[in-house]
Structure 1
Amino acid sequence: MVKTGTLFIVSTPIGNLDDITHRAIKVLNEVDLIAAEDTRHSQKLLQHWGVSTRMTAVHDHNEKQIADRLIEQLKNGLNVALISDAGTPLISDPGYNLVNRCREHQVPVVPIPGVCAAIAALSASGLPTDQFLFIGFLPVKQVAKHTLLERLNAETATTVFYESPRRIADTVKAIVEVLGEQRRISIGKEITKTFETFYAGTAAEVLAWLLEDANHQRGEFVLMVAGAPENDSELPPESLILLKTLMQELPLKKAAAITAQHYGLKKNALYQLGLTLND
């Protein structure tokens, strides 16, 4: 009886080719086949480390179709390594359908851990890391983007996004509009590469930094947004001043909404605080 092969999920560098484990290189050399997101891109990495294992392409457009063929090869005893263009496969990269099918067919799946852009950026962000929520890429369309951000307005964990250079400024502008210009943000771009850059500040400050120089918008971005305060006692004193000022001219509900948007706070918390000020 033929022993079923194993699918290895192998993390690869996100920029610096030295960011790969000895185990990853060993696995890439020993498997029968490497399933790569882009074989031309991955060839550079494999040549750098002297890996000559044959490759096949597995990407968003063919994954469902090629999964059946790979499952048969795995069940016939071949070992396969899945790699993406950079980082850990399946983390905003192809691979879910293949891994899911492997689980359905009792094909062993073994992760070979390594680099992940989201984790690398978060570790150097200066934002809380005890709890975080990874979203991946935000929707391209503005309405959908704003809707998702509104759902995240009360999220207390640090939120992590990926973003492209073409949309980074628009996305930070949307954060200013929905979560408030005072919400803390940290961005990392070109992580592990020559022009690696981190910049942190309020949403308004980060937006201004992006717009002051076109070079600031170049590269692949990890965008991290601080969570909302967990309780009323964490409300910044400035928000109370603004709330009181607005309450003199506007209904409490409207004053609370404006203050919440400006400082990236919970509307309900400010509304409840406003009720106590009216007493």
Structure 2
Amino acid sequence: MTPETLTPPVPARQHLNASHRAPIAETLNLSKSYGADSATVSALRNVTLRLEAGSFTAIMGPSGSGKSTLMHIMAGLDDATSGTVALGGTDITRLDDRALTLLRRRRIGFVFQSFNLVPTLDVRQNILLPYELDGRRPDAAETARMLALVDSLGLTARLGHRPHELSGGQQQRVAIARALVTRPELVFADEPTGNLDSKTSRDVLGLLANASREHGQSIAMVTHDPIAASFADRIVFLADGRVVDDRGPSSAHEISRLMLDLEVAA
């Protein structure tokens, strides 16, 4: 079965609440290809997607479906081959490097599988790095919020430790705290629970859901885990670089069934 003839196991549909909120991020006819001529590989194919402000969206799909590529382009970390991406109404495909860097620094948080912690900084310094990069110190309220966030992630006793003194799960929690500490409008998370035990995973997912629900932050989470996706209020499924389903809150069982159908059809 070729990508051009792939029939989604569940008819693609638009999430019912997709037009009820202002968009925090949008793509229009977004495509990404690698290579040239007969060696061309299409990672994304004319993806049009709208992420609403304050939403918690899970992006799922089989390996090679384009989900991480989509997130990286939406976050301004990779260039599209064609199409446009807008963040908060700003077309980032038209920004120069300096403007794009400022936008990412002040309005976007990142949690990636590789953690990207600075090895020479301790936990406190890594978490506060977004303030340092923006050339300012957190005020009293921001410091109190940081300490509450650290406590909720079980990192209080580790504030003076450096990354090499932490487990993989602890490093991931530091990365999550760093992404949330400034309360950015939009947080991109790539498999944020991939290195965590079950209890810590639930705590982290609850924290992301609360950031969306209580603080109006938008979360876009790439995950392969149906349990993690069940915490989201919207789930977008990709296959062969296309959106093939878009639905509201679903149980882990429902998500598992659809993922299995997509894997079989891939």
> TM-score surpassing 0.5?
no
Q: Which structure is larger by alpha-carbon Rg, 1 or 2? A: 1
Structure with more contact order per residue of length (Cα contacts < 8 Å, sep ≥ 6): 2
TM-score (ref. length: structure 1): 0.24
TM-score (ref. length: structure 2): 0.25
